[in-house]
Amino acid sequence: MRVSVVGAQGRMGSHVVAAVEAAEDMQLALQVDSSDDLTQVSPENTDVAVDFTVPDVTLDNVLTLIKQGVNVVVGTTGWNDDKLAQVREALAQAPRKDQAVFIAPNFAISAVLADYFAGIAAPYFESAEVIEAHHPNKLDAPSGTAVHTAHTIAQARRQADCAPMPDATVGNEPSRGDVVDGVHVHAVRLRGLNAHEEILLGNPGEQMIIRSDCFDRASFMPGVLLACRKVGEHPGLTVGLDQFLDL
């Protein structure tokens, strides 16, 4: 499998380059960064392109790569329903019928399972909030993972017909964090950290904490390689690594 890396000079991109080079069933094709022409990536040299760039450019990159006729694996954050709809539309017009795009806010197994467990647990508690903590070089807040987890919690609670979470705070106090799909999300940026998430769940007299710690970017690589191997088996748009795991 020939894999090209977009954002190859970045923190994640450079790890993906090394992981692809070390994988026996993969061959590193092109390394593309911001000053390179993305249209050099094509089916002549690439089976899967992996995008780890920045939230402002990833949609345009994906649309270009779809037009180029290659499958795409995306780890960059900043996605919303409108952007995902644009990807679906582009796939409907893609050069190949079976073309595929896979987007994951997090490729680490601990983070994917934390999100999954949060969805199982959330209906059993009156309160649920998310705290994410990252390195201070991160551009976006809250993290893509925390936004995804908030939606997971909200969806599980809607399905279970849960009552609104108790909160006597008057007004929209910034100290209560961002509110994503009705779930409070708090973001910490701290030198020394990498990527961490806690889901706090509370009932009268008890608390449960689900926590994922990604100390090193190595934690994301098995998931990225799994996505590269699986993406071609799932034509269209797939979101979330849980879709490729037997959960």
Ligand X SMILES: O=C(O)C1=N[C@H](C(=O)O)C[C@H](O)C1
Contact between 105 and ligand X by CB under 6 A: the answer reads yes
Instruction: Name the amino acid, one letter, at 33.
Output: D
CA angle 8/139/243 to nearest 5° reads 65
CA angle, 233 as apex, 227 and 235 as ends, to 5°? 100
Which residue in 67, 83, 138, 234 is the catalytic one? 138
Q: Are 194 and 216 spatial neighbours (Cβ–Cβ below 8 Å)?
A: yes
102 binds, among ligand NAI, ligand X, none (CB under 5 to 8 A by kind): none
Q: Please tell me which residue in 134, 148, 186, 196 is annotated as part of the active site.
A: 134
Which does residue 134 touch among ligand NAI, ligand X, none (CB within 5 to 8 A, set by kind)? Answer: ligand X
Q: Has 8 been labeled as part of a binding site? A: yes
Q: Is 46 in the site for ligand X (CB under 6 A)?
A: no
C-alpha 156: how far from its chain's center? 19
Give the residue with the Cβ less far from ligand X, 55 or 236. 55
Between residue 133 and residue 152, which ones bind ligand X under the rule CB under 6 A? 134, 138, 143-145
12 annotated to bind ligand:
yes
**Residue 129, phi then psi, degrees to nearest 5:** -135, 160
Examine the residue annotation and report whether 186 is marked as an active-site residue of this protein: no
Binding interface with ligand NAI (CB under 6 A):
6-7, 9-13, 32-34, 52-55, 57, 61, 75-77, 104-107, 144, 220
138 is catalytic: yes
In the chain, the largest separation of any two C-alpha atoms, in whole Å, equals 61
In the chain, DSSP finds a helix count (H) and a strand count (E) of 6, 11
Question: Any idea which residues carry the catalytic annotation?
Answer: 134, 138
